[in-house]
Structures are given as C-alpha cells and as structure tokens.
Chain A
C-alpha cells in the first residue's frame, strides 16, 4: 500500500521559517494537500493542489511538490501555528495521510 512519511517533529523559533516534508513514491505525480490540527480540534485544510491556499489561510503558508517530496513551508512562524500537520494524497481511489508532524514554536 502507498505510504507517506513525515518527520515526527519540527521545532522553529518564532518568526523563523519551518519546513515540513512529506515523502512518497513518485508523490510529485500526484496532488498533495496539507491539514493543520490543533489539540482537541478537527483538522483544517491549509494547502490544496500542492500549493494553493484556501480562503482565510495566511500567506505565510505555502506548499510545493516535486519528485518524491511535498513540502509545507511556514514563513514567519507564529505561536498560533503550533500544531500537528498532515500531508495527504490519493492512490488508486483511496486516501492516504502522512504520518504527521508536530510543529513546536520556540
């Protein structure tokens, strides 16, 4: 079955840039999206179609996808960005989520 691998954790100083990777076989041939989940809350879409931001998502969130890796970048990270982040893609009509990354803002 298809797998998406993320680093378990990323730490970033407030105001700096956080990059979260998502690795999967030929992931660049698929479309990737990203979800943010804060403790006790439901996931929220932050990036779709590799690099598009939904309405209401700050410009500091950006995405890319090429080769075997999709990347979520948070520029000028703020304390409110501390959360779990999950990448997601589709393989043979089934949904696949990444393993998840906990972002800690120092």
Chain B
C-alpha cells in the first residue's frame, strides 16, 4: 500500500523554525517528484513546493521563497520541508503528496497532514 506519513508539526513562535518530515512507503520513492501542499484553517489548498527525483530541481510558491527549503533523502525514503522565519500566515496543515507525471501531472496519494501553528 502506498503511504505517506507526515510529522514534525507543532506550535512555534513567529520568526522561529520548524522541520517537517514525510515518510514514504509502498512505492519506489526515488522515482517520483514530491510536493508539499498546505491548508490554512478553514481555507483552501495552496501548493508550497516540489522537488524532482534526485533533488536537483526545486520550485516554490512566491510566498515561501527564501524562507522554506524542500529536500529529500532517497536512502531513507523521506521528504523534508525546512521552514525558517515563520509567520502567522504560515499556520496550516501541511500535506506531502506524490506527483504522478503523465500528460499533465497530479497528486496521488496525499499524507494525513501535520499541523503547524505559528503564534506567540
């Protein structure tokens, strides 16, 4: 069974840092692009960042550029999101998702999410 399990969320003060992890199982992790998507409380989905199979390509939404870093460790089947200089507006559930590339690309499956709360 393909599974993604996020961890690392929690309460952090504005300006602080947090590192999220996503453990993948049930598929060849090194063969897929991976993404982070977030959802603020009561709000819609927002794509945050993605990374290619060997980590040589990374893309970010403008609002996190320079503050967040996506990375992966294929030997550990793990995806990471290092979040620095956190702001209140970064408060959200963060999901990791596998990207499927075909004619177009889509997310399947998604993890259960981990909640990040930025507050003093």
| Interchain Cβ contacts within 8 Å, total number | 69
Q: Contact between B45 and A1 (Cβ–Cβ < 8 Å)?
A: no
Closest chain B residue, CB of each to CB of A37: B45
Contacts of B103 in A (CB 8 A): 31, 49
Overall SS of chain A's interface? strand
Assembled-state Cα–Cα distance A51/B107 (Å): 15
Q: Mark B48-72, 1 if CB is under 8 A from A, else 0.
A: 0010000000011110000000000
Residue A106 is within 8 A (CB to CB) of chain B in the complex: no
Assembled-state Cα–Cα distance A50/B85 (Å): 38
A interface residue count range (under 10 / 10 to 19 / 20 to 34 / 35 or more)? 20 to 34
Closest chain B residue, CB of each to CB of A30: B104
Assembled-state Cα–Cα distance A42/B114 (Å): 11
Taking CB atoms and an 8 Å cut-off, the chain B residues in 6-28 that contact chain A are none
Chain B residue total in the interface (Cβ 8 A): 25
Residue A44 is within 8 A (CB to CB) of chain B in the complex: yes
B114: min CB distance to chain A, Å? 11
Q: Contact between A42 and B107 (Cβ–Cβ < 8 Å)?
A: no
* Residues in chain A within 8 A of chain B (CB atoms): 1, 30-33, 35, 37, 42-45, 48-50, 54, 84, 86, 88-90, 93-100
Question: Can you report 26 residue pairs joining A to B where beta carbons are below 8 Å apart?
Answer: A1-B62, A33-B107, A35-B45, A35-B107, A37-B45, A42-B109, A43-B37, A43-B45, A45-B106, A45-B108, A48-B100, A49-B103, A49-B104, A49-B106, A86-B44, A86-B45, A88-B45, A88-B47, A88-B106, A90-B105, A94-B60, A94-B61, A95-B47, A95-B50, A97-B44, A97-B45
